[in-house]
Amino acid sequence: MNTAEIIVRRLEAAGVRWVFGIPSGPVLPLIDALRQSTIEFVLTTNETSAGFMATVVGQLTGSPGVCVATVGPGATNLTTGVGAAWLDRAPCLAITCNVATPWLNRRIQMRIDHHALFRPLSKDTVALTAANADLALQEAIALACAEPPGPVHLDLPEDVAVAPAAQGAPPLHERAPKPADISATVEGVLQKALAESRRALLITGLSVNRSRLAQPLRRFVEAHGIPFISTLHGKGLLPESHPLWCGVLGRARRTTVQALVKRADLVIAIGYDPIEINYEEWLGDTPLVHVDYEAADISASVNTLLNVGGDMDGAVERMAAMPPSGNDWTAAELDTHRRTLESALRPPMGGDLATYHVLDALRARLPADGILAYDVGAHTHQIATQWRTDQPLTCLATNGWSSMGFGMPAAYAAKLVFPDRAVACVVGDGGFLMTAGELSLARRMNLAVPTVVLNDGWLGLMKVKQERRGYQLSGVHLGEPPSSPPHYFGVPCRSARTLDELHAALDWGLTLDGPSVIEAFVTVEPYSETVYD
């Protein structure tokens, strides 16, 4: 077997089902090895999309998503997608196929130092050889999945890919160190803190998606009557239809949510990763108990009662068994808070179609286990707060990395992982311009995903930021939206300028056997009231 074949064998053993990327001469040996395996090579139109798709596969399956790119510009494109795996904590293998070994240290066409490029974005970067590839793949897969998960970069020179490989590397028996038992420490601190607290508030974050905490954490908040909020990535682990749910931190109508935070006299953060929002930006001097798989990077200015990392799942199980404690929150005030929040998210627009109309109409049609993938922009803030879900990993977005262009590749990756579940995508017109070419992937693979484009003619988030900072509007107007074409790259398209047209278009898109585009011509104005207020 050659080295490319050994690599593919190890990927198969790890449960990898897809490799995303774009071919080139150095990539061809790996593609040929994939052709003879159970793994499908998925052709994207941009390496960045390949990285995003690998990220989402890693998030949804727990097994490494895999992406591949050629030397030089292919590698630089790939880094943007791999950055999402790095800062949004997803297991991923990023393979760059390089020039032949004799040219690795020469200044020649396309060649750059791939290891220097990927080092800031990965848990490790490894030069593959015919002698080390077998064991290196095992180690890379284990490292990518180890807590906290993330990408590992592998560099494969073209001559190494076709060289006979050393086989029979011993199975990797090393396991990640057992996480520290922090349950007694957490219970002791929390018992004292809750005894002294009258208005505790719980927040969940990015790490809960990798946990088994849904039931014990729910038992804990219900036993103690503690309201909860989440970050964008923490949505759904605790059901957002629950009467103790109170919003999403730092997103649309953040001041409404922040007003509740300011009333708390204790914040219990479970699975909160400050990569989403630093504690210093919102916590003030409220006492904090932080419990995660790793301790948080917190400044001394934060009033920290506990900052501990270890076996979070075991700690929360212990928390769920704690005797109930009373507090001063009332059902009436929490209900009033939620009503105020819901109303503020939907400012009156007369006869104009607004983003919140689109989201309400789509939410009413998508089943409880349906998956919404969405892009970065002003609508990110609106969706994070407005879109309610009772299941984790049903709202796919990038927060730590926050790159435009994420939404469409994420939706297509989710549909590959869950072909029998409804998947929809919402993107702004700016993000659509970045990744519209991936519609050809959806058409080729017949992925039944409707993509809703919120077409308002602006880079809405930047427009709001310029307004808030007193700048003149400049460089953020995309132009007056043109009429929708009948199709994009062979994917059928319908437009909606009214609520009736929107409902009809959604009914159409959600019942097709393949991909579709729905252009919703919305007004940009509500973002000025909802994004930062």
Q: What is the pLDDT of residues 192-234, one digit of tens each?
A: 999 999 999 999 999 999 999 999 999 999 999 999 999 999 9
For each of the domains in the chain, give its residue range(s) and CATH number, in order of start. Answer: 3-162 (3.40.50.970), 183-336 (3.40.50.1220), 345-530 (3.40.50.970)
Q: What is the mean pLDDT of residues 243-265?
A: 96
Which amino acid is residue 158, in one-letter code? Answer: E
| Residue 433 and residue 46 in contact, taking contact as beta carbons nearer than 8 Å | no
Asked if the peptide bond before residue 148 counts as cis, ω within 30 degrees of 0, the response is yes
| Alpha carbon distance 269, 234 (integer Å) | 11
Q: Is the pLDDT of residue 114 over 80?
A: yes
Considering only residues 136 and 174, tell me which one the structure prediction assigns the higher pLDDT.
136
Among residues of the chain, what percentage have pLDDT more than 70?
98
Q: Is 198 helix (H, G, I), strand (E, B) or coil?
A: coil
Q: Quick one: which of 221, 77, 210 has its CA closest to 149?
A: 210
Q: What is the mean pLDDT of residues 419-442?
A: 96
Q: What is the mean pLDDT of residues 503-522?
A: 97
Q: What is the mean pLDDT of residues 445-451?
A: 98
- Provide the pLDDT confidence category of residue 30 given band limits of 50, 70 and 90: very high
288-310 pLDDT, tens per residue? Answer: 999 999 999 999 999 999 999 99
Considering only residues 485 and 139, tell me which one the structure prediction assigns the higher pLDDT.
139
Q: Which helix (H) or strand (E) holds 160?
A: helix 158-162
Q: Is the pLDDT of residue 109 over 70?
A: no
Q: Is the pLDDT of residue 533 over 80?
A: no
pLDDT at 193: 98
Question: If you ran DSSP here, which 8-state letter would residue 428 be given?
Answer: E
Q: What is the mean pLDDT of residues 427-449?
A: 96
Q: What is the crossing angle of helices 355-365 and 378-386, to 10°?
A: 40
- Provide the pLDDT confidence category of residue 110 given band limits of 50, 70 and 90: low
Q: Is the pLDDT of residue 11 over 80?
A: yes
